[in-house]
Chain A
């Protein structure tokens, strides 16, 4: 969506948060090393979980092994495709783009579509009908939660988007967020991705087992973990606000969570200054601490409170959460007026 010249994009300026310019530049400085170290650790973890699957093949233990492998596969693949869509993961551009392609393949989204729709998400963060990355209707109820966390809703969107791009049958949203001259590139890439997915499917049908055990089933099993991370970025927050503090949530999480999610638990900080790479987000958090709300409690507690809220909303009970932040209109009892429809 091309913002009019007068539109103020949702970021630090529209929120009224500020930082010393020199400090911001220092925090936004690029380097390859943290991204390469991250990938090395990620591949080592994947090698371990793959080994566990290999050991468990033929027994029921293969299912928990594939679940663990799926979490290790999906959450960092999402986080890396996000970071590289921003272009902040590496200083070396070709490295950034190569990782964007590889991780978007796992995430099942054409890389330029990923970049353009995310660009729009930063311009119109959580604005109904304008933000092209609103994955659920708001306020969320239990049905919406199930659709989101099961991975069903996102998979349906991603598959439909890939097929539409490949067929050059662009949706109004695609035409809105992607310049006309770029659309043929998205079509070319989507066709290439579909050919590779077809190759994997062909191998499985042919009787080759590894794509199924190490890629496809773990991708399905690991998706809910990835979606529990992404769900709490904006759920229960304020739609249509210029303030990132009102539309977005940061939350605490363990070292493992911070690693898998590449520090994106500092989500407010990321939306305020998207040019700051993942490895500098903890420092950015320290720098802005006095201007920000306290992060919500840990990943599990935040998710349990969200689940409790959406269940109660579906049952017509009061929806005040115990401790997580909620927009005022999310708190109440009985019928809730629909504010935003999903755009993905």
Chain B
């Protein structure tokens, strides 16, 4: 059974932006892109830096520390210095809220 957890209101995230959301001692990044809402782990896989101040370009998040890039729809690491993919989480929108499926 999927464990859907409400994270935030949809309008809490600007278009082409992300927010960090802390839950159960873990941080998640939730993105509002032109393709919809997506969620990944909140820390970069390179040096575990928070992605919060990163730039969202289309469906790509660029880490603010060294510019490593991830595809947020799949978590794929796109360019150096990141080599390890980001974990992604299913997202659903209901009643103006963003829900994440957390394992």
Pairwise interchain contact B47-A3, C-beta atoms closer than 8 A: yes
Q: How far is the CA of A248 from the CA of B49 in the complex (A)?
A: 22
Contact flags B23-55 to A (C-beta < 8 A → 1, else 0): 000000000000000000000000111001111
A112 sits at the interface (CB 8 A): yes
For B81, list chain A residues within 8 Å (CB).
115-116, 119, 179
Pairwise interchain contact A9-B65, C-beta atoms closer than 8 A: yes
Pairwise interchain contact A88-B49, C-beta atoms closer than 8 A: no
A275 sits at the interface (CB 8 A): yes
Q: How far is the CA of A326 from the CA of B52 in the complex (A)?
A: 34
For B52, list chain A residues within 8 Å (CB).
21
B68 vs chain A, min Cβ distance (A)? 8
Q: How far is the CA of A181 from the CA of B48 in the complex (A)?
A: 19
B76 vs chain A, min Cβ distance (A)? 14
A2 sits at the interface (CB 8 A): yes
Pairwise interchain contact A29-B53, C-beta atoms closer than 8 A: no
* CB within 8 Å of A: which B47-103 residues: 47-49, 52-55, 57, 62, 64-67, 69, 79-81, 83
Pairwise interchain contact A29-B83, C-beta atoms closer than 8 A: no
Pairwise interchain contact B62-A87, C-beta atoms closer than 8 A: yes
For B57, list chain A residues within 8 Å (CB).
30, 91
* CB within 8 Å of B: which A78-113 residues: 86-88, 91, 93, 112
Contact of B64 among A2, A123, A275 (CB under 8 A): A275
Pairwise interchain contact A87-B79, C-beta atoms closer than 8 A: yes
- Report the interface size for chain A: residues with CB under 8 A from the other chain: 30
A274 sits at the interface (CB 8 A): yes
Pairwise interchain contact A87-B69, C-beta atoms closer than 8 A: yes
A262 sits at the interface (CB 8 A): no
For A25, list chain B residues within 8 Å (CB).
17, 53, 55
A253 sits at the interface (CB 8 A): no
A1 vs chain B, min Cβ distance (A)? 9
Contact of A274 among B17, B65, B80 (CB under 8 A): B65
For B69, list chain A residues within 8 Å (CB).
87, 93
Pairwise interchain contact B66-A123, C-beta atoms closer than 8 A: yes
Contact of B80 among A2, A88, A116, A275 (CB under 8 A): A116
**Known: A21-B53, A115-B80. Is A9-B47 also a contact (CB below 8 A)?**
yes
For B67, list chain A residues within 8 Å (CB).
86-88, 274-275
A11 sits at the interface (CB 8 A): yes
Q: How far is the CA of A281 from the CA of B18 in the complex (A)?
A: 23
For B17, list chain A residues within 8 Å (CB).
25
For A29, list chain B residues within 8 Å (CB).
55
Q: How far is the CA of A9 from the CA of B63 in the complex (A)?
A: 13
For B53, list chain A residues within 8 Å (CB).
21, 24-25, 275
A182 sits at the interface (CB 8 A): yes
A122 sits at the interface (CB 8 A): yes
The residue on A at minimum CB distance from B82 is A179
The residue on B at minimum CB distance from A91 is B57
Pairwise interchain contact A275-B83, C-beta atoms closer than 8 A: no
Q: How far is the CA of A29 from the CA of B64 in the complex (A)?
A: 12
For B65, list chain A residues within 8 Å (CB).
9, 11, 122-123, 274
For A116, list chain B residues within 8 Å (CB).
80-81
The residue on A at minimum CB distance from B78 is A93
Residues of B with Cβ closer than 8 Å to A?
14, 17, 47-49, 52-55, 57, 62, 64-67, 69, 79-81, 83
Q: List 11 A-B contacts (CB under 8 A).
A: A9-B47, A22-B14, A25-B17, A25-B55, A86-B67, A87-B62, A115-B80, A115-B81, A119-B66, A123-B66, A274-B64
Give 4 closest A-B pairs by Cβ, nearest first.
A87-B67, A119-B66, A119-B81, A275-B64
Residues of A with Cβ closer than 8 Å to B?
2-3, 5, 7, 9, 11, 21-22, 24-25, 28-30, 86-88, 91, 93, 112, 115-116, 119, 122-123, 179, 181-182, 273-275
Q: Knowing that A30-B55, A87-B67 are A-B contacts, what are 4 other residue pairs whose CB atoms are under 8 Å apart, sorted by A's residue number?
A: A87-B79, A93-B79, A116-B81, A182-B80
